[in-house]
Amino acid sequence: MSEPAAPPELSASPPDSTRTGPGRLLVAVYGLFALSASARAVVQIATKFHHAPVAYVLSALAGVVYIIATVTLGRGGPVARRIAVFSCSFELVGVLVVGTWSVADPATFPDATVWSTYGIGYGFVPLVLPVFGLLWLRRVNRRTRVKQPVVTPAENEGGAAAGDVDPVEVSGPGRGAAPATPGTA
């Protein structure tokens, strides 16, 4: 009789997490932007708010959005991912609206914000970062959605007692593994 196999160790980040692969780079870039936009806004608001109040408040808003995106992408759970999708979407809309506004009415923006002129002062990273964020979140959400337990015919008909059949993780259409048979490793 063989001994049961030890369960695999749980990794700190499951493979469907925003904390793995390119998700790590995304979190790092968002963290850098959270720090830079927030610090810039604090200094500008504290030292020369009267000079360009709209620009400085928008810089502070950008900093808050980047902080939220950083934290939620770093956490990676289902609720955090939904908040991250909202955050990245808000950021993309913000960059487009503020970018267009700053081009159409430059007098309102005597000093640049992170999002003014579509993020030109930051190499247009504020324009492409939310797109990459949303694409990564879409990829992670799709992978997570596919990994759902499969109900076997025996379970569906009530022929097996609860817990007799292990759920199967499906890695894609038609790629599911057969359920484990009791007594095999």
* Per-residue pLDDT tens digits for 154-178: 555 554 444 444 444 444 455 455 5
Quote the CA–CA distance of 85 and 114 in Å, as a whole number. 20
Detail the DSSP E strand segments found in 16-124: none
* Measured distance between the N- and C-terminal CA atoms of the chain, rounded to whole angstroms: 11
Instruction: State pTM to two decimals.
Output: 0.69
More confident residue, 69 or 145: 69
